Structure 1
Amino acid sequence: MSKRLIVVDVSNFIFRAFFAIRPLHSPEGVPVNAVHGVLSMFLKLLSTYRPTHVLLARDTKGGSFRNELYDAYKANRSEPPEDLVPQFALIGELIDQMGLPYSMDDNYEADDIIGSACVQWKNDFDEIYIASGDKDLMQFVGDNIYMLDTMKDKLYDSEGVFEKMGVKPDQIVDYLSMVGDTSDNIPGMKGIGAKGAAKLLAEHGTLDACIEAKDTFKGKKLTTAFSEYLDDGLLSKKLIKIVTDVELGHKASDTEYKFYPSDELIEYLKGLGFKTVLKKLKDMQYQIAQTEQNDGGLSEPTVFEKKAIDTELVAISSEEQIELLKKQVKESEFFALHTEYDSEDKIMRNLIGLAFSFEEGKAYFLDLRNNKNKELSLELLKMSWGDETKKIQTEHGKRDYTYALVNNLPFNARVFDVVQVHYNINTGGNHSIESLAQSIGEEVPPMDKKNPFITELDDESALQFAGLRAAVIFNLSASYKEDLKKHALEEIYYNVDAKLISVLASMEKEGVLINPAYFSKFEKELTEKIDSIQAKINKYSENEVNLNSPKQVGEFLFNELALPVVKKTKTGFSTDSEVLEDLASRNISEVPSLILQYREIGKILSTYVKAIPQLVNEKDKKIHTSFNQHIAQTGRLSSVNPNLQNIPIRSETGRLVRKGFIASPGNLLLAADYSQVELRLLAHFSEDPTMLKAFNDGIDIHTQTASEIMGVSVDEVTSNDRSKAKAVNFGLMYGQSSFGLAKALKISRRDAKEYIDRYFERFNKVKSYLDSLKEEAEVKGYSITLNGRKRFLPDIMSSNRNIKANAERMAINSPIQGTAADIIKIAMINIQKTLEEKELKSKMILQVHDELIFDVPENELEQMKAIVREGMEKVVNLRVPLSVDMGYGVNWFDLK
């Protein structure tokens, strides 16, 4: 019998499982969807590919040597979702219960373990499969080593790698060194894309050979890449190169594996609340017992097949089919319409596919690629989008509405967006259409992240990709309508979120102008500042310090300068911002403060000043950010490409980024910002008399708070007192503890506790209100906003104190943050309606937190001030007035 080893990238499995499986909770209220997904993936791997040997490669909490080489390595990755964190330990226990061999090392990553297993054990097995989605690992493919993409059930050999990546496996390291890897924040060489790198390696073979030949290269981007960004490429190569001599802790023979569903495993899974898989495992136990009776040996694992989709897909081609499709569009009030585009570019993209579903189990696809069926598609869109009696089901209503606006197509139909509805029903879930399909036992072809369009698919694949999506959207809609009704969420969806879709689409289509000359000048200034800071720091050291390397910075600060060590990590000295701020506050050296400045300026330079001009649309020279209303669980809007919510406003350098956003020629920008809206909502909800009086009398709430907790008159409050009171106001509203407040204010926990006690003594109704939020969420299982938006909190019933405390914090802040989010959304809807009714030329172009930005002709400025103030301040009746601060100017920064 041939020996087959499968080496599994466990982290890859965990994150894929978490985002693919709808939220599930154990009887104790602990999230377990990732555990369920990983178990299913393990069982499928074992049953489909039948390995004789298995090794799981696991990551540890610590960093690796790569973080010492480059402190920005994987720095772009956010913390794991809060519902995933408690599942890591559960998955570790699952691995133990299944008896799966694994290897992990604090100094190396899972990739290094996988690479080491491939190299060290290559001759011990007939075949080695690498089960991972990581491109880096393709460097090992060849001979008896294959890459296994379990998402697509596809096995890659050397030719498969070349077909997918455009380079041979032994060129992968050099290829990624040039193009970089955004998932790991590896820079690559700016100016060289995937096609360019593949072409260079086809001509020269290796990066070293390219470097030798660089003087012969032509073209500004290429020559600049090899002159200014070569060091980035060489650094990237060090980061990408995988270590192959890690001590694995096993011999090859130790990884032999035959799965048996033990009683202990079944009891463990029963405790997690799994039911369907338990039946399968018990059936497997029975099958194995029967086989042992017959021949005394263990049987091969049972194959668990995925549910097949029984959907008829029709590719529209004949005149008869066209007429039938038209008839169904004309006669149907409800139907699913799925669109496919050829680009993310909101202004330039083309519609390349339409898929319709009018009944369960059937979908039609009209292929519009290569300029086919254009006239027919316009006719169908006018019949569907243009008809106000139609109720169209979709997964991306805003994208369609934006396309209609850009191309002057009527869009009067009502939209039922299944992704947005799923967000309303389950804010914490995965809202992708792939995940939604799985939630009802169906499956759609996954999107290729490298090329997420059907442009290059063959006809059958395009039919499957688009047609199945339309069918799933239709199937989801009926149950989702019932769910909205069952959970009393119809009002928030139909009157807020659905109406906002067209408003956001209008804003995305309009875009905002930027001043490229300003960004260019600002880039130069910040680069000079960074160079100046580097030069100052170099005076303190015998050798130049790489300020992007935590290891070098740590050795410089604590060995060379002999500064007191504040904190250590597994890999050495900690040099995080908390440590540097502590050292800076001691005034024993200017270096920590300089490093903080260097990091702040460097982040602003790379994330905003350099990046924003690259996002300008070629046609209209504007930035067209994308607004998301189904990401933040509190209901707040977010934005991407660029993320305008994260532009720093607490530092002068960060605020200056706003100077680059400008009004259209002859216009002004008008900004309107809610003043302390969340504290006003706290006053309204709690009905605290002290807070109500302060807001109704126009007294600054932070000054009033300082006066109350410090026992002085309002006139005696200093700016420092007010700052502390501000931290107390916001901290306690978000469920902050005395430990958190002490850390924020840099005071003792005892002093922080005294502040909190005095605050709740003076604002006693606030305390009872916040406590009531936790109690109400525990009874109902959710928190709720003034307008009925719900955030379901199953973890509030958890017996795990940390998990429960986290849910309690959400129960406190979600009603306030969520109501603030709803208020500005409703204001946006009302203001947009007024602009259209009055046929004004002014445009709403941006929303950032509690602020709205408008592009306004000068002759409409006074009228717009009145409309916006009325629209924002009178949007809801509260026990205290809403207040809006306004400013106008030629750019976002210089507002009067």
Structure 2
Amino acid sequence: MIKDRIVIIDGNSLINRAFYALPPLVTKDGKYTNAIYGFLTMLSKVYDEYDPEYIGVAFDLKAPTFRHKEYGDYKLGRKKMPPELAQQMEPLKEVLDALNIYRVEAEGFEADDLIGTLSKLCEEKGMESLIVTGDKDALQLASQTTKILITKKGISNLEIYDDKKLYDVYELTPQQFIDLKGLMGDKSDNIPGVPGVGEKTALKLLKEFGSIDTLIKNSNKITATKLREKIEKHASDAVMSRRLATIVTDVPVDIDIESLKRTEGHYDYIVELFKKYEFNSLINKFAIQKNEVNNEKKQKNLIKITNLESMLKAKSNMINGREIAIKSLTEESNMLTDEIICISMATREDIYFIDLKNTDKPKEIIEAVKDILSHEEIEIIGHDVKKEIIHFKPYDITINNITFDTMIAEYLIDPAKSSYGLKELSTFYLNESIMDDEELRGKGKKQLKPKDIDPQKVEKYMCQHVNAIIELMGPIEEKIKELQLENLYYNVELPLTEVLASMELEGIKVDKDMLNRLKIEFQDKLEELTKNIYSLAGVSFNINSPKQLGEVLFERLELPPIKKTKTGFSTNAEVLEKLYDKHEIIPRIIDYRQIAKLKSTYVDGLLNIINPITNRIHSSFNQTVTTTGRISSTEPNLQNIPVKLEMGRRLRRAFTAEEGYRFVDADYSQIELRVLAHISGDENLLDAFDKDQDIHTRTAAEIFDVDMEDVTQEMRSNAKAVNFGIVYGISDFGLGENLNISRAKAKKYIDSYLEKYGSVKKYMGDSVKAAKEKGYVKTLLNRRRYLPELHSSNFNIRSFGERIAMNTPIQGSAADIIKLAMVKVYKALNEKQLKSKLILQVHDELIVEAPQDELDIVKELLKECMETAIELKVRLKADLSYGDTWYDAK
């Protein structure tokens, strides 16, 4: 009878698999962590799925093993461990020590031998052993009680083998599996085996003879002459190879099984290490709190509001408290009519919870909440305050004095985080574990609506969250001050939350009839293109299948293959562009893809998300997604409507102003180049903007050494590519590809540019140098972007970091400026009590929907606010247009 379960992990194998399975993860100070992160992810999976009572991790040591002594060429020629992986070995061991996971190591023996010895020992004690490895050599250890969990597809899947499964797959016993290795050898370990004998032949021989020994004794029975000669000639190699491949199960090490007992790790040490390696999302998986009471202590006095009397008393206390954290939970039906289910609020002393479904006078209670949130002297704190503004809008409640948003603040502190959830922040700053949305609601298809969740669970979740918000404000605010981010935070990002909430609530009107007409037109065009493509290909096939398309282009039509992938020929956009002139089918495939995307993503997509109450689309504007500081939008992504295509531009006609209103569109003119002129102080750039010259014509004149009036359209186009490419650190190869010119010619353009714009060249060099010294770059408003890529030993990754170091101060500053402009425009419209509303921001463009009688005021206001958003060495310029649709306004 099985008593206990032990998991034995092949440490070297698993960290190696994790390293190659995951993209590079690097901390702000340049430490690689992807292998450790992947290892811990797999460990968490093993804990969840197998819940072992005992656990240990075996590692190889650098010292030679008995195998090296027996066979000098053992593992000879094996590729050296990459430095990015080597530097993660000791930190992993440090993490395992913090988790109280026993490490098994012994000089002269490999991890496999230690695993074999440990599993044998556990087997004798009647324990079930689970060996986690990516190395199939371990299959020789399989038995009824020892199972091998082989990692498949990186680290996400495990395939389980016991002796029965081994026989089902290979028709071999565990002992015969060693003989298999002896015959076929192992290239990765440089075990010779019998030359020319692969897995298929070795399996056939073992099925016939049973073992290497029997095979050698009966080699005369091998009918294939050449194979018989190989076996007879290399019999000693087969025996030696089997010996090298045999896992030792009696290593002379003294292991006390009880020392492998799974226990809680060292909480503070785990938190410290996980913060150091920026594994914030994993802290709660591994750091088990010393006591759960901690959370309760932090929650102070919990006051449940059940009637109007208790609400009025709470209101009085909260107004005196002056500082309130707020969180609400809605039914999530329609943002414009969404009903709030419950509200939690916290002061420094108390937490208040209101279940609006279980109060005597919900309308009167909401009115009391309105008095609190609209009180001009009460400071409101939240996490993702934009959401709170939207939640309370259907109740005609305006949150007047928002003074802190923990989510936005943390985004400024570390813009590269994958999550800014309260759970992660609470763990990181407060060493407290709280419930997150997934724990509350579940995930995927089983995710519950708030109204269907256990009310006690909802209460705990809500109270934990407001408590965390008010406690987090102090340490996060300190960090904002330490990094000198106060101006960016309090004057740009925090007020911007209100602007974005307003834009989401306002939305933008779409012409449903026009979208339906476009849908039919696009479908007709797709059908026509499909017929043309089939005719040119000479066969019908699935145009949307890269595999089938690759077969048609490169096998049937014999076009030159540009790039191969694991699954066949690449047919991505870059490949099709290079083949554009090779066959008339290519332009049609490109057109097909573009129209198909327009139809599915925008026409069909927009028709599905028109709000039934407003007949408008209410996109979500995200403040904490991009590392550059740019705002992004989702559902739909209005930033990505392709305007280079006429069909894409026509799609903008479907976005229309309300009757009696017009769109006023203002677009910054060449803002990134103006920022470059300011930061670099380059005299040529400053002079061009000061004289209000066309910057691309001026650059063309400088590069090609001609007068401005002699600049041709082609020269200007080439100069434009150089202007925009140079601040992205474009290479001669990249520019040559973009302009379809030789690399030598592209290099000449770049060299000429940098010669004429010497201060730009100096800025680029200085920016990279400073970034390498500090580990980050900054925008004009002090927005930071950390660049661990600069410390990479990988040339491509390091070069990417250098390009980002040059570009971020430019692109990030442009993002800061458009945000400043948005805040100014929003405030000015409100101060003048205009009906006009800021409804859209796309890249460097703002759109205001204005009634006809406010058109002149808005045009002047928009231009002034944008052009005075910040003072630079050059004048900011906004180009204005207006019309009934977004298309007309451009």
Indicate the SS of the match to 1:540: helix
Deviation at 1:53, TM superposition (A): 11
Q: 2:176 and 2:451 mapped to 1: Cα distance?
A: 47
The question of 1:503 aligning with 2:499 is answered yes
Shift in alpha-carbon separation, 1:712–1:590, aligned structure 2, 3 A: same
Q: 8 Å contact 2:142–2:174 — kept in the other structure?
A: no
Q: 8 Å contact 1:604–1:654 — kept in the other structure?
A: yes
Indicate the SS of the match to 1:428: coil
Deviation at 1:482, TM superposition (A): 0.8
Q: CA RMSD in A?
A: 4.4
The question of 1:311 aligning with 2:287 is answered no
Aligned to 1:443: 433
Shift in alpha-carbon separation, 1:794–1:384, aligned structure 2, 3 A: farther
Indicate the SS of the match to 1:770: helix
Aligned to 1:412: 400
Aligned to 1:342: 331
Shift in alpha-carbon separation, 1:137–1:799, aligned structure 2, 3 A: closer
Aligned to 1:873: 867
Q: Which amino acid in the other structure matches residue 477 of structure 1? A: M
2:322 to 319, 333, 336: 333
Q: 8 Å contact 1:670–1:887 — kept in the other structure?
A: yes
Deviation at 1:802, TM superposition (A): 4.2
Q: 2:336 and 2:86 mapped to 1: Cα distance?
A: 43
- State how 1:11-22 maps to structure 2 within 5 Å: none
Which has the higher Rg, Structure 1 or Structure 2? 2
Q: 2:479 and 2:631 mapped to 1: Cα distance?
A: 23
Higher relative contact order (CA 8 A, sep 6+): 1
TM-score, normalised to structure 2, is 0.71
Deviation at 1:720, TM superposition (A): 2.1
Aligned to 1:845: 839
The question of 1:578 aligning with 2:578 is answered no
Indicate the SS of the match to 2:686: helix
Deviation at 1:52, TM superposition (A): 8.7
Q: 2:521 and 2:673 mapped to 1: Cα distance?
A: 38
Q: Which amino acid in the other structure matches residue 588 of structure 2? A: L
Deviation at 1:533, TM superposition (A): 0.8
Aligned to 1:779: 773
Q: 8 Å contact 2:52–2:262 — kept in the other structure?
A: no
Q: 1:827 and 1:842 mapped to 2: Cα distance?
A: 16
The question of 1:722 aligning with 2:716 is answered yes
Shift in alpha-carbon separation, 1:31–1:575, aligned structure 2, 3 A: same
Indicate the SS of the match to 1:338: strand
- State how 1:116-515 maps to structure 2 within 5 Å: 299-304=260-265, 306-307=288-289, 308-309=291-292, 310-312=294-296, 314=302, 316-317=304-305, 322=311, 325-343=314-332, 345-359=334-348, 363-369=351-357, 374-375=362-363, 377-429=365-417, 430-440=419-429, 441-448=431-438, 449-450=443-444, 451=447, 453-515=449-511
Q: 1:882 and 1:528 mapped to 2: Cα distance?
A: 45
Deviation at 1:88, TM superposition (A): 13
Deviation at 1:25, TM superposition (A): 2.8
TM-score, normalised to structure 1, is 0.71
Deviation at 1:761, TM superposition (A): 0.3
Q: Which amino acid in the other structure matches residue 375 of structure 1? A: K
Q: Which amino acid in the other structure matches residue 517 of structure 1? A: D
Give per-residue Cα distances to partners, 1:613-650, cap 9 Å, x unaligned.
21111111111111111111111111111111111112
Give per-residue Cα distances to partners, 1:532-585, cap 9 Å, x unaligned.
111011113443111011111111112211222222222222212222111113
Aligned to 2:699: 705
Q: 8 Å contact 2:689–2:695 — kept in the other structure?
A: yes
Q: Which amino acid in the other structure matches residue 577 of structure 1? A: A
Aligned to 1:829: 823
Give per-residue Cα distances to partners, 1:286-323, cap 9 Å, x unaligned.
xxxxxx97967763233335125512353615568656
Aligned to 1:619: 613
Further displaced range: 344-353 or 700-709: 344-353
Q: 8 Å contact 2:306–2:359 — kept in the other structure?
A: no
The question of 1:534 aligning with 2:530 is answered yes
Give per-residue Cα distances to partners, 1:509-542, cap 9 Å, x unaligned.
1111000111111111111111111101111344
Indicate the SS of the match to 2:723: helix
Aligned to 1:566: 562
Q: 2:149 and 2:395 mapped to 1: Cα distance?
A: 48
Shift in alpha-carbon separation, 1:321–1:541, aligned structure 2, 3 A: same
Deviation at 1:382, TM superposition (A): 2.2
Further displaced range: 716-725 or 469-478: 716-725
Shift in alpha-carbon separation, 1:570–1:780, aligned structure 2, 3 A: closer
Deviation at 1:2, TM superposition (A): 6.3
Q: 1:36 and 1:597 mapped to 2: Cα distance?
A: 42
Q: 8 Å contact 1:778–1:797 — kept in the other structure?
A: yes
Deviation at 1:30, TM superposition (A): 2.5
Q: 1:55 and 1:554 mapped to 2: Cα distance?
A: 48
Q: 2:26 and 2:835 mapped to 1: Cα distance?
A: 49
The question of 1:552 aligning with 2:512 is answered no
Indicate the SS of the match to 1:355: strand
Shift in alpha-carbon separation, 1:417–1:721, aligned structure 2, 3 A: same
1:25 to 27, 33, 36: 27
Deviation at 1:37, TM superposition (A): 7.4
Q: 8 Å contact 2:825–2:862 — kept in the other structure?
A: yes
Aligned to 2:67: none
Aligned to 1:748: 742
Give per-residue Cα distances to partners, 1:252-306, cap 9 Å, x unaligned.
999xxxxxxxxxxxxxxxxxxxxxxxxxxxxxxxxxxxxx979677632333351
Q: 1:879 and 1:368 mapped to 2: Cα distance?
A: 55
- State how 1:751-830 maps to structure 2 within 5 Å: 751-798=745-792, 801-830=795-824
Deviation at 1:128, TM superposition (A): 12
Indicate the SS of the match to 1:694: helix
Q: Which amino acid in the other structure matches residue 722 of structure 1? A: R
Indicate the SS of the match to 2:341: strand
Q: Which amino acid in the other structure matches residue 399 of structure 1? A: K
Q: 8 Å contact 1:5–1:125 — kept in the other structure?
A: no
Q: Which amino acid in the other structure matches residue 428 of structure 1? A: A
- State how 1:72-83 maps to structure 2 within 5 Å: none
Q: 1:877 and 1:869 mapped to 2: Cα distance?
A: 15
Q: Which amino acid in the other structure matches residue 503 of structure 1? A: V
Q: 1:529 and 1:772 mapped to 2: Cα distance?
A: 52
Q: 8 Å contact 2:55–2:262 — kept in the other structure?
A: no
Q: 1:298 and 1:500 mapped to 2: Cα distance?
A: 55
Deviation at 1:248, TM superposition (A): 14
Shift in alpha-carbon separation, 1:470–1:248, aligned structure 2, 3 A: farther
Shift in alpha-carbon separation, 1:44–1:558, aligned structure 2, 3 A: closer
Q: 2:449 and 2:471 mapped to 1: Cα distance?
A: 23
Q: 8 Å contact 1:503–1:832 — kept in the other structure?
A: yes
Further displaced range: 690-699 or 740-749: 740-749
Shift in alpha-carbon separation, 1:606–1:40, aligned structure 2, 3 A: closer
Q: Which amino acid in the other structure matches residue 418 of structure 1? A: T
Further displaced range: 40-49 or 650-659: 40-49
Shift in alpha-carbon separation, 1:34–1:573, aligned structure 2, 3 A: closer
Indicate the SS of the match to 2:846: strand
Indicate the SS of the match to 2:887: coil
Shift in alpha-carbon separation, 1:253–1:89, aligned structure 2, 3 A: farther
Indicate the SS of the match to 2:337: coil
Q: Which amino acid in the other structure matches residue 517 of structure 2? A: K
Indicate the SS of the match to 1:684: helix
Q: 2:171 and 2:758 mapped to 1: Cα distance?
A: 59
Give per-residue Cα distances to partners, 1:734-790, cap 9 Å, x unaligned.
122222222222223222221111110011111001212222223333322222222
